[in-house]
Homo-oligomer: A and B are copies of this chain.
Amino acid sequence: MERLSIWAPDGLPEISPGDDLGELVADLLTGQDEPDRPRDGDVVVVTSKIVSKAEGRVIAAADREQAITDETVRVVAQRQRPGLPPLRIVENKLGLVMAAAGVDASNTPEGTVLLLPVDPDVSARTIRAALAQRLGLRRIGVVVTDTAGRPWRDALVDIAIGCAGIAPTDDLRGSVDAHGRPLNVTVTAVVDEIAAATELVRGKSTGRAVAVVRGMGHHVTADDGPGARVLVRSSADDLFREGSAEAYARGLADGRADAGPAS
């Protein structure tokens, strides 16, 4: 029997630039009843929103669209809808393909937007070190989450954009099924599943930006590990590097040029 417990304590104060987030999260967690205080093998999950706020990633931006442009490394797909801001799905500086580059204009003061952390894996390592020291733990995982859309499926799920002290994947390649055949399901995105699981207790409009997961100790590691960056698919393996309309338009232009005046 495997068992997981996930809880999201209330009471984290509003986070401001320069706050020591690791200390504030440690304060929150040590203030819980004893059974809910983190133990070795637990995973502490925080939203990128509070990490960004602590790291001063709130910027004045009269124009959210300009902020998105600034965070964009590469446009993947876009669509203009009547009466709405353009939908832009882009690769951002973290290699993440997200709508609006991950720029967030909710839960920030008017006239400002929130950018993602500069390096959420580094943020996770910093929080992990603070928690390990304050809580006296040797093995504690940290995951930094954000909310993302998916092609082909409506609605959003949380994913892991940073992690430390936890193996980001569970690699089953080489194991066999009950019939001795290789498992064709090979690598599971464990930290993405942890991020999704904690969204269920965290909600969006509340102050619960921290969650604890107990029962994943077999994935918690003694070192920081590779981080969630390893989950970003390489461009060589990416069959959806451009939106269908964008790729078609590029093909059409190339085809016309091929067969154009020179032909």
Interface residues of A (CB under 8 A from B): 1-10, 77, 79, 89, 96-97, 104-110, 147, 150-159, 168-170, 172, 175-179, 181-190, 192-194, 196-197, 199-205, 207-208, 215-216, 230-233, 237-260, 263
Chain B residues near A97 (CB, 8 Å)? 151-152
Asked if A183 contacts B200 (CB within 8 A), the reply is no
Q: A151-B233, A188-B199 are in contact. Are A193 and B2 (CB under 8 A)?
A: no
Measured CA separation A2–B201 after assembly (Å): 5
A112 to B183, CA, bound (A): 14
Query: A254: which B residues are within 8 A, CB to CB?
Result: 248, 251-252, 255
Question: Quick check: B238 and A240 within 8 Å, CB to CB?
Answer: no
Q: How far is the CB of A158 from chain B (nearest CB, A)?
A: 7
9 contacts between A and B (CB under 8 A): A5-B6, A106-B182, A107-B181, A110-B181, A151-B239, A154-B233, A156-B186, A239-B244, A251-B255
Q: Is the CB of A4 within 8 A of B245?
A: no
- Of the listed residues A169, A170, A188, A239, the one surrounded by the most CB atoms of chain B closer than 10 A to its CB is A239
B10/A183 in contact, CB under 8 A: no
Contacts of A105 in B (CB 8 A): 181, 184
Residues on B with beta carbons closer than 8 Å to the beta carbon of A106: 177, 181-185
The answer to whether A108 touches B179 (Cβ under 8 A) is yes
Q: When the two chains form the complex, which single residue of B2, B183, B243 contacts A208, counting CB atoms closer than 8 Å?
A: B2
CB–CB B202/A2 < 8 A? yes
Selected from B189, B199, B216, B249, the residue in CB contact (under 8 A) with A156 is: B189
* CB-based contact B77/A152 at 8 Å: no
Q: With A239-B245, A256-B255 given, is the CB distance from A154 to B230 under 8 Å?
A: yes
Cβ 8 A contact of A247, one of B109, B159, B186, B245: B245
Of all chain B residues, which has the CB nearest A150? Answer: B150
- Determine if A193 and B189 form an interchain contact, defined as CB atoms under 8 angstroms apart: no
Using A104-B184, A205-B183, A208-B2 as known contacts, say yes or no to A231 and B200 having CB atoms under 8 A apart: no
The 8 Å CB contact of A251, one of B109, B170, B247, is: B247
Q: Which of A183, A189, A207 has the most CB of B within 10 A?
A: A189
